[in-house]
Amino acid sequence: DTGVSQDPRHKITKRGQNVTFRCDPISEHNRLYWYRQTLGQGPEFLTYFQNEAQLEKSRLLSDRFSAERPKGSFSTLEIQRTEQGDSAMYLCASSLAVSGEPQYFGPGTRLTVL
Amino acid sequence: GEDVEQSLFLSVREGDSSVINCTYTDSSSTYLYWYKQEPGAGLQLLTYIFSNMDMKQDQRLTVLLNKKDKHLSLRIADTQTGDSAIYFCAEPEYNQGGKLIFGQGTELSVKP
């Protein structure tokens, strides 16, 4: 296994369009996390799953955002009716569900909303 | 809630040691993490330390933890130009393996 992968790496869209990102975690990892990172800031938590259950969502995750992990493997993050303020790097990470186990990050998806 | 703070910039000469500092607020955190981010890339886990340790060494990296002052530092020995990147410290919220709280990141610039 080569680590966490994300697709696409870059996405340019027009305001009002919907976009969907995919994350494939490290295969034996049962926790999967989504973060958002804007320029000059550290990553901010959006949501996380343990297996297929979504256990926590940030207040940053407005009703335009939805995340799924239907079979407990890959996850998708959808943003509906994109706004310019959604422009950011969207990072996915995975880990084992053991206290202290570190999170391993993917390369991220850079979203630009015009 | 938890908060993690770091100084924003550090500039060193190649071959010198770099020390990146971090303060955190949650005294119950049992693990603390250091990540490295190169331009346009995701975060690379560098090292992490369990709170019952004062120090952890891994090749050129040394992590020091002062629990009393809630202060964490990352020392990079013999800093190379390839070490130029942004370094983040992070602590878990609630210490349950959920979300990580990140600092703003320290941009390390290594001059030849």
Q: In chain A, which stretches have pLDDT less than 70? A: 1
Residue B25, pLDDT above cutoff 90: no
Cβ pair A111, A88 in contact under 8 A: yes
Q: Are B18 and B75 in contact (CB under 8 A)?
A: yes
Q: What is the pLDDT of residue B1?
A: 63
In Å, how far is A3's CA from the nearest CA of chain B? Answer: 11
pLDDT class for B52, splitting at 50, 70, 90?
confident
Residue recorded with tokens 């990140």: B102
3-state class (DSSP) for residue A84? helix
Is the pLDDT score of B95 beyond 60? no
What percent of chain B has pLDDT above 70? 95
Minimum-distance CB partner of B99 among A56, A98, A106? A56
Query: Does the beta-carbon distance from A45 to B99 stay under 8 Å?
Result: yes
Q: Is the pLDDT of residue B94 over 90?
A: no
